[in-house]
Amino acid sequence: MSNKVIHVLYNDDDILMDAVRKTRAAHHHIEEIYTPFPVHGLDKAMGLAPTRIAITSFLYGLVGLSVATTMMWFIMIQDWPQDIGGKPSFSYIQNMPAFVPVMFEMTVFFAAHLMVITFYMRSKLWPFKQAENPDVRTTDDHFLMEVAVHGDVDQMVSFFEGTHAVEVKVIEKH
Amino acid sequence: MVLGLLGIGYSFFTAPKTIEDVERIEAENAAHGHHGDAAHHDAAPHAAHGSATEATAPSHEGGEAAHDTTHAVAAEAPHEAHDTIQAEAAVAAAGHEGHNNNDGDPHTQEAHAPHADAHAAHEGHDDAHAAHKEHEEHLKHTLVQLQNKPWSALYVSALFFMLISLGALAFYAIQNAASAGWSPVLFRVMEGISGYLIPGAIIVFLVFIAGALDMHKIWIWMDKDVVAEDHLIQAKSGFLNKTFFLIRAAIFMGGWIFYRQYSRKNSLAQDEATDNSYFKKNFKAAAGFLVFFIVSESMMSWDWIMSVDPHWYSTLFGWYVFASFVVSAVTVIAMVTLYLKSVGYLEYVNTSHIHDLAKFMFGFSVFWTYLWFSQFMLIWYADIPEEVTYFKTRIEDFNLPFFGMVVLNFVLPILILINTDFKRLTWVVVLAGTIILCGHYIDFFNMIMPATVGKQWFIGAGEIGALMFFLGLFIFVVFTTLTKAPLLAKRNPLIEESKHFHY
């Protein structure tokens, strides 16, 4: 079993979108698409599942809110309820308006940072990571579609050449 | 036309019933006045009191009972006096047991009465006279509050719906000035909603005139007797005087109505035009209006809302009022759009338009909360006596409405409308919209009522009747206006983009 893939290069995002639709219609499996900038609607054309990162962010926000509440309840009410400038420290709710700015900021802080970290982890991004760029031109002005080979290679190459590709390459992938 | 008829039918279905409601409640209040109220309160004590007729007239004592129920501070005096006579006088034992400082408890109210009476009997005329005078003052106070009730109910609803229509107009102007590409398919809806501005403003202005003619005391600075004894209001009378107040109101309302009529005219003319000159005129008018609007809106909020508490002031109040009615206006736009869409009158409106409106509802809800909290927290934190009474009366007397509206206006919308998929569902948007509108009615209720009726507040037939009447009138006017022009602006340069708007 060979690990061959076809790299198809395009120089326009509209042509790329067209090609993606044709490829999907012909039931070729798209491994990956490399573009220099976000192409609006590409994920829908590829049929990618929607992201759930907003849901994680919401949950992280709840964590942040709980942390802030617990922390200030313990410090300000439970552990050492001092009278500071006449603020009522008998119960959390009595002094809550003073805690709201912290609660808000902690919620945003947790929601934002943990979501970003989640994004890095899920997309496997970190410093010193080896770049996975199959062709340097895809960061500048070319669009590359990587398709898994199954069946007749020549027939597939001719199919992709028919999609206004500027270049079609068959590559042995390890 | 069918739609207009639906609107007309609906409003006629609602309006007559509620006009009667309003009238009936006003008649009842006028007939009973405070004396009816006092008599009601003193029925129980008199029965307990039996034949004890002292130097004080029966009306005094009865009044005192009423006095106890409503005025915590004044009630202190009889209480304390009562403690001293407790040993020597064998007063009704049943009354004693219930005796505590909990004025809100109906049981206690009854229990107080015999004490107060006994007190008057024992201590003699001096105290009785002092209490009597104090009590007269209190009765006057309560009378004013009760007489204000139907007026305030009317005023809150009238103002609420007029400001919704003003908010829709401001939103419309913003969309025009920003050359928004998504909203032109909704312009006719916004124009329809802002059509209520003319009758709404006239009704609110009539309430002002009634105030200036001393028919009600929503604005106590309009009362000469009050101002004569009040240095703080005297110092403000250069701004807060009837003539200037009415002139300002006329200028603000005139300016808003003028822009509304002008831009509506241009918008209709653009349909038939061969170039874009009317569109450009509307663009310039919108920019000019927004400048006028933000100044007039700010002053409007001082005049019409903040000055019901003429001893209190807050600098971000204008923004706070603005946030409150603009979120209601966006909600109404969304709901009217959904209604028209559901009966098939808005061909080009898709879920993306609804999604955008729902995002505005969400965003402005949070914005409102931000301003509400900023205003509350700054005053709570510093706790300066002359400012903090505003929130003290609200938290003590209006606890449920005051904090309930934060739940309605912030917690529920933020949880319901945070989800992208939910923002595209009709029933979710309508549900959230209903919650937001109820919440912001209560918001305006909380701004006006504590100053005008105080502890006498109640959401009863007068309030609901007025709300239903203005809702009916609002729906009638809005849907009638919607029948006057095609629901899709034809030659708006941005209309094609808006038709194909997709998020």
CA A83, CA A103: separation in Å to the nearest integer? 21
Residue B79, C-beta contacts closer than 8 angstroms, at least 6 positions apart:
B99, B101, B112, B115
pLDDT grade, residue B332 (50/70/90)? very high
Same domain for B251 and B334: no
The H or E element that residue B39 is part of is helix B2-49
- Model pLDDT for residues B143-175, shown as the tens digit of each residue: 777 778 888 888 999 999 999 999 999 999 999
Which stretches of chain B sit within 8 Å of chain A by CB?
373, 376-377, 380-381, 383, 418, 420
Q: Which residues of B touch A98 (CB under 8 A)?
A: 377, 381
In a domain, B306, yes or no: yes
Blockwise average pLDDT, block size 10, chain A, 174 residues: 82 90 89 92 90 95 96 94 91 93 96 96 93 89 89 86 88 77
User: B10 by DSSP, 3-state: which?
Assistant: helix
Same domain for B300 and B178: yes
Q: For residues B417 and B432, is the Cβ–Cβ distance under 8 A?
A: yes
Q: Is the ipTM, as predicted for this complex, more than 0.95?
A: no
Same domain for B286 and B425: no
Q: Is A74 on the interface with B (CB under 8 A)?
A: no
Considering the entire predicted model, what is its pTM? 0.79
At B251 the pLDDT is: 95
Interface test mutation site (partner A, options B359, B369, B377, max chain A beta carbons within 10 A): B377
At A156 the pLDDT is: 86
Q: Is A86 on the interface with B (CB under 8 A)?
A: yes
Q: Is A108 on the interface with B (CB under 8 A)?
A: no
Q: Which residues of A touch B420 (CB under 8 A)?
A: 54
CA A69, CA A63: separation in Å to the nearest integer? 10
- Model pLDDT for residues B433-467, shown as the tens digit of each residue: 999 999 999 999 999 998 888 887 888 777 887 88
At B40 the pLDDT is: 39
Out of A54, A58, A98, the one facing B381 most closely (by C-beta) is: A98
Q: Which residues of A touch B373 (CB under 8 A)?
A: 97, 100
CA B435, CA B474: separation in Å to the nearest integer? 18
Out of B373, B418, B420, the one facing A100 most closely (by C-beta) is: B373
Rounded to a whole number of angstroms, the distance from the CA of A8 to the nearest CA of chain B is 30
- What does the angle CA B43 – CA B45 – CA B51 come to, to the nearest 5 degrees? 100
Rounded to a whole number of angstroms, the distance from the CA of A18 to the nearest CA of chain B is 20
What number of CA atoms fall less than 13 Å from residue B447's CA on the CB side? 27
Out of B380, B418, B420, the one facing A97 most closely (by C-beta) is: B380
In a domain, B164, yes or no: yes
The H or E element that residue A34 is part of is strand A30-34
pLDDT at B124 over 70: no
pLDDT at B249 over 90: yes
Nearest CA in chain A to B418: A58
Order of strands across the sheet that contains A167-172: A30-34, A143-148, A4-10, A167-172
Q: Which residues of B touch A100 (CB under 8 A)?
A: 373, 377
At B322 the pLDDT is: 95
At A102 the pLDDT is: 96
Q: Tell me which residue of A112, A37, A104 sits closest to A72, measured CA to CA.
A: A104
CA A31, CA A150: separation in Å to the nearest integer? 12
At B45 the pLDDT is: 39
Same domain for B379 and B302: no
Rounded to a whole number of angstroms, the distance from the CA of B377 to the nearest CA of chain A is 6
**Helices B58-70 and B106-123 meet at what angle, rounded to 10?**
140
> Token pair of B462, please?
């007068």
Same domain for B259 and B359: no
In a domain, B327, yes or no: yes
Interface test mutation site (partner A, options B362, B367, B369, B381, max chain A beta carbons within 10 A): B381
Same domain for B162 and B98: yes
Same domain for B332 and B298: no
Q: Is A59 on the interface with B (CB under 8 A)?
A: no
In a domain, B11, yes or no: no
> Token pair of B106, please?
């109906």
Q: For residues B384 and B328, is the Cβ–Cβ distance under 8 A?
A: no
Domains annotated for chain A, with CATH where assigned, are 4-36+138-172 (3.30.70.260), 52-123 (no CATH)
Nearest CA in chain B to A54: B419
At B444 the pLDDT is: 94
Number of domains in chain B: 2
Same domain for B257 and B214: yes
Q: What is the separation, in whole angstroms, between the first and last Cα of chain A?
A: 12
Cβ distance B418 to A100 less than 8 Å, yes or no, reads no
Q: Which residues of A touch B377 (CB under 8 A)?
A: 97-98, 100
CA B302, CA B318: separation in Å to the nearest integer? 7
In a domain, B329, yes or no: yes
Same domain for B407 and B299: no
Rounded to a whole number of angstroms, the distance from the CA of B379 to the nearest CA of chain A is 10
The H or E element that residue B233 is part of is helix B231-236
Nearest CA in chain B to A58: B418
Q: Which residues of B touch A97 (CB under 8 A)?
A: 373, 376-377, 380-381
Cβ distance A97 to B381 less than 8 Å, yes or no, reads yes
Out of B376, B418, B420, the one facing A97 most closely (by C-beta) is: B376
Cβ distance A97 to B420 less than 8 Å, yes or no, reads no
Nearest CA in chain B to A104: B370
Cβ distance A100 to B377 less than 8 Å, yes or no, reads yes
In a domain, B386, yes or no: yes
In a domain, B424, yes or no: yes
Same domain for B325 and B252: no
Q: Is A97 on the interface with B (CB under 8 A)?
A: yes
Can you give the residue range of the structural domain that contains B382? 313-457
Q: Is A120 on the interface with B (CB under 8 A)?
A: no
At B129 the pLDDT is: 67
Same domain for B374 and B471: no
What percent of chain B is modeled with pLDDT above 90? 46
Same domain for B399 and B335: yes
Nearest CA in chain A to B373: A97
In a domain, B42, yes or no: yes
pLDDT grade, residue B126 (50/70/90)? low
User: B405 by DSSP, 3-state: which?
Assistant: helix
